[in-house]
Amino acid sequence: MLAFIVRRLLQAVLVMLAVALIAFAMFRFVGDPVNSMLPEIATTEDRQALRAQLGLDEPIPTQFAKFIGGAVQGEFGISYRNKRPVSDLIVERLPATLELVFAAALFALLMGVPMGVYTALNRHGFVSNLLQIISLIGISVPTFVTGILLILIFSVWLNWLPSFGRGEVVQLGWWSTGLLTISGLKSLVLPSVMLGLFQVTLIMRLVRAEMLEVLRTDFIRFARARGLTDRAVHFGHALRNTLMPVITIAGLQLGSMIAFAIITETVFQWPGMGLLFIQAVSFADIPVMSAYLVLVALIFVVINMIVDLLYFVVDPRLSVGGDRA
Amino acid sequence: MKQSGPLLEVRDLSVVFDTRRGPLTAVDRISFDLSPGEILGVVGESGAGKSLTGTAITGLLERPGRIGGGEIRFEGNRIDNLPPEQMRRLRGRRIGAIFQDPLTSLNPLFTVGRQLVETIQTHLDLGREQARQRALELLAEVGIPAPEKRIDHYPHQFSGGMRQRVVIALALCANPKLVIADEPTTALDVSIQAQILAVLKKLCREHGAAVILVTHDMGVIAETADRVAVMYSGRIAEIGPAAQVVKAPRHPYTEGLMGSIPVIGTGADRLTQIEGSMPRLTDIPAGCAFHPRCPCARADCAAVRPEPRPVGDGKVACVLYDGGGI
Amino acid sequence: MSADAPSRFAVLLDSDFVYSFRKSRVTLIATLVTVSIIMAALLAPWIAPHDPFDVATLSLLDSELPPAWAEGGDPHFLLGTDNQGRDVLSAILYGSRISLAVGFVSVFFALVAGVAVGLISGYFGGLVDAIFMRIADVMLSFPTILVALLVSGIVRGALPREMHENAALAVLVFAIAITTWVQYARTVRGSTMVERGQEYVLAARLVGRSSASIIFRHILPNVMGPVLVIATINLAMAILIEATLSFLGVGMPPTNPSLGTLIRVGNEYLFSGIWWVVIFPSLTLVVLVLAVNLMGDWLRDALNPKLR
C-alpha cells in the first residue's frame, strides 16, 4: 500500500509539472507579456527594464524553473487586467467557489443516490420511467439555461430568492463565508441547485446502472437463493457494492463541478474563481488563466488521490492482503 | 405438512422465455419425483435446460423467463405459484442452493462470517452470538481449518475449493430438505472436485437433505447420484437409477453421452462422439428433438414426440421403447 | 438459402437495427425534429419572416413586442421582438445556422483527426502511441468545457484583439475540435488493436499488402460503428459547448449571434419581464440537443448487441 501511495504521488507530481509547463508556455509565448503589462506609450527603455525585471531575458529553462519556484509559493505574477497580484485575487475568490461547489455536491448526492436506487429497484414503475425521462432531459438542458429558468421562476416571477451575488458574508480570517447569514444562505440556494442539478441526473443514472449491474451478479442471486429478505439483498448487499464505483465518479465529479462553476458563477454573478477566470479568458489575461489552470489541476490531482485512497478503506480486497489458505 | 410420499414432485413443468418473436420453450413438459434424502443427477449439454429446471424450482427465474405450465410440489404442497414472500421463506430454509462459481457466489465486501450469520438469523430464531456459534460449527463441518480465525476473513482470502465449502455451509445453514447444486464443481480444479463432492454428499446425508445435482459431467454423476435424469433440448430423454443409466443406457442419446467419456481399461481407444450439435431453442425439430442426430432414427421419429415409458427401473422417451419396442 | 432469397433491402428492413428504429417512437420523433431544425436553419434566408441583420428594416416601434398570441403581440412577429425590434423567430433561425455550422464542422475536424490518430496509434503502437495516449489522458482528466475555454482563451491571447470578432467562428471550431478528438482516438485505437491481431489482418500482411491498404480496406470499416455513435453524441456536445462559450461571452459576437449568444443577450432583459427573448432561443437549443442526444442514445444501443 505504501508503494502504491508513493507511485501515486509521483504520478501526481508529473501531472502537475506537465500542467505547469503548459501554464508557463501560455504565459511566456501567448502574446507578449511586456506589451500586455505596459501602456502603449511606454518607451523602449521601460520595456527593457520590465523584461529584465520579469527575467524574460534569461534562458527558457531558467525561466521555467523560476516559474515553478514562484508557483509553489503561490506566486503567479500580476494580473494584466486588475494590475494586482494574481495570488491575492485567487485567495479572495476561492472561498466563494468552494462553498458553492460543496453545497451543490451535497444537494446532488442527497437527491441522486436515492433516486438512482429507487429507479433501479422499480425498473418498470411509472415514477421510474418519469424520472428516467426527466433525467434524460436534464442532461440535455445546458446548465446556463437551467440557471436562467431558475432565476425567471424563483427570482423574477415568485421573488423568493436572490438571483445574484453571495449576499452578506462574514470574514473568518482570510476565509469569507456566506453560510452564517440568512441572506448568504438564501443566495446560495439557486446557484447550488443549478450547479448540482446536472450532477443529480448523472449520479442517478450512474447509481441506477451500477445497481442493475450488481443485481444481476451471482452473489446477489445466491443471496436471494439463501432466502434473504429483499431489504437485506437490496440495501445490505446491492447498495454497498453499488456505491464503490459511485464514490469514484462522485469524487471526480467534484473536480468537474469546480469547472462547471464557471458557468454558474457567470449566470449568478457569483464572485468566485470561475467568474475571475471567464473575465481573464475574455481579456486574454494570461497570468490569471495560468494560475487558475494550475490551481484547478492541483485540486483535481488531490481529489483523485483521495478517491484512490478511499478505495482502500471501502474495499477489503485491497486493504487486506491476499493471504490465502 | 409431513407425509411419506416424495419430497418433490415435478409434473409437466415448462419454462418459457418471452421474446419479441414469440415465446421460446426452454424446458418442455418435464416430470420427475425426488424422495427424501435422494441424490438426483441431472445431466445434459449446455442449453439442455438443466439449470433452468433448478432455477424454476427455487422460484428464481428472471424475466423474460417464466414457468409456462405444470406443477411443482414440495412436501405435498404446490410451490410454483406461491407469492414471492412465501417462496422467499422457503428458500434457504427448506430449499438450499449452490451455484457454479464460488468466486462470484459470495459478496466480496462482506466477511464470510457476516454472510453466514445474516443467513442463519434470517431463517432461525437465534441471537447474534448463537448464530455465530452455529456459523463456526458449519464451517468446521464443511472442513474449513481454524474456523474461529477464518470466520472473519473476506471471500478473496479463501481459495476456490475453500470458498465452495463456504457456499455449501451457507446452503445448509437452516437444514434444508432439498439442495439444488448447479454445477458445483465445474469451476474448480479437477483435484479439488472430488473433495467438494464428498463434502456435499456427506453433509447432505447427515442433514437429511435430498440433492438435485446439475452437471454436464457424467463422471460426477456416476460417483455421486442415486438416480439420473438425462436432458436434451428441454426434455427428459431418460431417467432411472444411476447404475442402470450409466452402465446400460437405453436412449440413443444417453448411449452417445456415455460413449464420450473415456473409460480406463477398456479396449476402445477411440471415443465416440455424437454427430452435430443440440438444436437451438428457435428451431427444435418436430417429433423427437434428437432424431436428426440419432443413429437409430426411423421415419416416425419426426412425426410424434415420444412420451417417457417405463423401461427397467426407469423411464425412456424414445420410439424404440414405445409399444414393446425392439 | 432458397430460391426466393430476400433482397438486401428486405434483409435490412427485417434487421434488428431497423426494427428497433421503427419500434422506438421517441427516436423517430427525435430524428424528425433534428431534420426539421437542420432544414429550417439551412433555409433561413428564404423562410425567415425578417432579416434580423438588416438594420434598415428594424424599427424601434416594433421593439419588445411579446409573442403573437400574448396580449399586445403582433402577428407579424410570431415569437415577439427584442429591444431593437428584431424578430425573435428570425434571429433563432439564423442563430441555429451558426450553432449547427459550428457543431458539424467541429465534429468533422475532430472525427478526422481523432480517427487518424487512433488508427496510427493502434496500428503502429510504440512511441507515437505512448505520446498521443498520454496527451489524451491529460485532456480527458479535465472537463471538456474547461479545456475548450482554455484553448479559446489561448487562441484569443495569441490573436490581435481586433481579429477576435471575425475569427470567432474559427476559434470556436478549433477549440471544440481540439477538445473532442480524444474520444474518437481512444475508441478507434482500442478497436484497431483488436482488429490488428485478427487472422484476416495477419493474412493480408502475409500476402504483402501495405499498412495503408490494410488500415483503409480492413480496419477502418470495422471501427466505423462506434465512431458514428460518438459523432452523433458529440454533435450534441459540440452544439452545447459552442452555446456555453457564446453564453459566457467568449464565443460568437452579438453581431453574428449563435443560439448561445442570443441567450446571453436575452438574459440581460430577463428582469424587465421580457422573457420571450431568452426563453425561445433556449428552448430551441434544448430541443435540438435533446433530439440529437436521443438519436445518439438509440444508435449506441442498437449497435451494441450486448445491451439488447
Same-domain pairing of A94 and A219: yes
A73, part of any domain: no
In angstroms, the separation between the Cα of residue A232 and the nearest Cα of chain B is 9
Average per-residue pLDDT for chain C: 79
At which of A263, A283, A303 does a domain end?
Answer: A283
Are A20 and A130 in the same domain? Answer: no
Number of domains in chain A: 2
Compute the count of residue pairs across chains A and B with CB atoms less than 8 Å apart: 96
Q: What pLDDT is recorded for position A100?
A: 92
| Residue B210 confidence (pLDDT) | 92
**Residues on chain A touching C278 (C-beta within 8 angstroms):** 148, 152
Interface touch B157/A315, C-beta < 8 Å = no
C-alpha cell at B68: 409456462
Q: Is residue C124 part of a domain?
A: yes
The cell numbers describing B9, all together, are 414432485
Are A158 and A48 part of one and the same domain? no
A265 in a structural domain: yes
Residue of B260, B220, B278, B250 lying closest to B48 (CA atoms): B278
pLDDT class of C306 with cuts at 50, 70, 90: very low
Kindly state whether residues A109 and A191 are assigned to the same domain.
yes
Torsion of CA A313, A316, A320, A325, to 10 degrees: 170
In chain C, the residue whose alpha carbon lies closest to the alpha carbon of A261 is C146
Tell me if B108 and A316 make a contact (CB, 8 A cut-off). yes
CA distance B220 to A59: 78
Confidence of residue B262 (pLDDT cuts 50, 70, 90): low
How many angstroms separate the first and last alpha carbons of chain C? 27
Same domain, A111 and A33: no
Which cell is A295 given? 490551481
Q: A164 and A46: one domain?
A: no
Please check whether residue A204 is in contact with residue A116, taking contact to mean a CB–CB distance below 8 angstroms: yes
Same domain, A228 and A270: yes
Amino acid identity, position A91: V
List the single best residue of B88, B100, B107, B123 to mutate versus A (max A Cβ within 10 A).
Answer: B107
First and final C-alpha spacing in chain B: 44
Asked if A35 and A124 sit in the same domain, the reply is: no
Beta strand B210-214 with B178-182 is parallel
Query: Is residue A310 domain-resident?
Result: no
CB contact under 8 A, C145 and A259: yes
* Geometric angle at alpha carbon A291, from A287 and A293, rounded to 5°: 120
For B184, counting Cβ atoms within 10 Å of its Cβ (0-12 exposed, 13-18 middle, 19+ buried), the class is: buried
Whether A313 is in a domain gets the answer: no
- For residues C47 and C93, the answer to whether their CB atoms sit within 8 Å is yes
Q: Is B86 in CB contact (< 8 Å) with chain A?
A: no
Rounded to 5 degrees, φ, ψ at A278 are -65, -35
Quick check: bond before B249 cis, omega within 30?
no
What is the pLDDT, as a whole number, of residue C16?
63
Pairwise CB contact (< 8 Å): A149 & C152: no
- Please name the amino acid found at residue B228: V
**Joined grid coordinates for residue C90:** 428570425
> Is the pLDDT at C21 greater than 60, yes or no?
yes
Place C74 in a pLDDT band, splitting at 50, 70 and 90. low
Q: Which of B72, B173, B75 is nearest to B121 (CA)?
A: B173
Residue C308 in this model has a pLDDT that exceeds 60: no
SS3 B69: strand
User: pLDDT at position A103, please?
Assistant: 92
Q: Is A82 helix (H, G, I), strand (E, B) or coil?
A: coil
Q: By the 8 A CB rule, do A222 and B110 touch?
A: no
Residue B241 near residue B314 (C-beta atoms within 8 A): yes
Neighbours of B104 (CB within 10 A): 18
Record: contact C275-A152, CB cut-off 8 A: yes
pLDDT of residue B326: 42
Judge whether residue C280 has pLDDT over 80: yes
A50 shares its domain with A92: no
Residue at A78 is within a domain: no
Angle between helices C88-124 and C220-247 (to 10 degrees): 140
Residues of chain A in contact with residue B91, where contact means CB-CB under 8 angstroms, are: 224-227
Nearest to A117 by CA among A138, A131, A105, A104: A131
φ, ψ for residue A105 (rounded to 5)? -65, -40
Residues A22 and A111 in one domain: no
- A83/B contact by beta carbon, under 8 A: no
C-alpha dihedral, B101 to B103 to B109 to B114, nearest 10°: 70
- Mutation target vs A (from C164, C179, C247; most A CBs, 10 A cutoff): C247
DSSP string for residues in B246-278: HHS--SHHHHHHHHTS--TTSS--S----SS-P
Contact call for residues B67 and B150 (beta carbons, < 8 A):
no
Task: Assess if residue C60 is contained within a domain.
Answer: yes
Residues B95-116 have a mean pLDDT of 88
Position B325 scores a pLDDT of 42
| CB < 8 Å to A320, chain B | 153-154, 156-157
Helix (H) or strand (E) holding A171: strand A170-172
Q: Specify the length of chain C in residues.
A: 308
Q: Which residues pair with B230 in a beta bridge?
A: B43, B238
Query: Where residue C254 sits, what CATH number does that domain have?
Result: 1.10.3720.10
- pLDDT tens by residue, B291-322: 888 888 888 888 888 888 888 888 898 888 87
Percent of chain B clearing pLDDT 90 (strictly above): 25
Query: What domain range includes position C66?
Result: 9-307
pLDDT of residue B40 exceeding 90 = yes
What confidence score (pLDDT) does residue B263 get?
57
Are B229 and B317 within 8 A, CB to CB? no
The type of residue at C272 is S
Q: Which of the residues in chain A have pLDDT under 70? A: 1, 31-33, 36-37, 39-40, 318-325
d(CA C5, CA C188) in angstroms, rounded, equals 35
Considering the domain boundaries, does residue C2 fall inside one? no
Q: How close does chain A come to C145, measured CA to CA in Å?
A: 8
Which triple of cell numbers denotes residue C21? 428504429
Residue A300 lies in a domain: no
CA atoms within 13 A on the CB side of A99: 23
Task: Output the nine-digit C-alpha cell for A169.
Answer: 458574508
The 10s digit of each residue's pLDDT in B147-195 is: 999 999 999 899 888 988 999 999 988 889 999 998 888 878 888 888 8
Q: Are residues A174 and A230 in the same domain?
A: yes
How far apart, in whole angstroms, are the C-alpha atoms of residue B273 and residue B293?
11
The domain of A267 spans 88-283
At residue C238's C-alpha, the angle toward residues C233 and C240, to 5°, is 95
Interface test with A, best of C29, C138, C267 (most A CBs within 10 A): C267
- Are the beta carbons of C279 and A142 separated by less than 8 Å? no
Residue C111 lies in a domain: yes
Q: How many domains does chain C have?
A: 1
> Based on the domain organization, do A132 and A254 belong to the same domain?
yes
* Per-residue pLDDT, B307: 87
Contact at CB, B97 and A226, closer than 8 angstroms: yes
A45, part of any domain:
yes
Q: Quick one: which of B189, B313, B310, B173 has its CA closest to B242?
A: B313
Rounded CA-CA distance B117/B139 in Å is 12
For residue A18, which residues of chain C lie inside 8 Å, CB to CB?
138
Instruction: Provide mean pLDDT across the span B113-136.
Output: 91
* Cell numbers describing residue A75: 506566486
Tell me whether residues A145 and C282 touch, CB distance under 8 A.
Answer: yes
Q: Hey, CA dihedral for C144, C149, C154, C158, is it positive or negative? A: positive
Residue A305 Cα, gap to closest chain B Cα (Å):
22
CB contact under 8 A, A259 and C278: no
Beta strands in chain B (DSSP E): 8-19, 22-34, 39-43, 65-74, 77-78, 95-98, 178-182, 210-214, 227-232, 235-241, 309-311, 314-316
The secondary element (H helix, E strand) that includes residue A170 is: strand A170-172
Interface mutation vs chain B, best among A216, A219, A312, A324, most B CBs within 10 Å: A219
The residue type of A236 is G
What global pTM score does this model have? 0.75
CATH number of the domain encompassing residue A182? 1.10.3720.10
Residue B268, classified by CB atoms within 10 Å of its CB into exposed (0-12), middle (13-18) or buried (19+), is exposed
Does residue A150 lie within any of the structural domains?
yes
Report chain A residues whose CB lies below 8 A from the CB of B92: 225-228
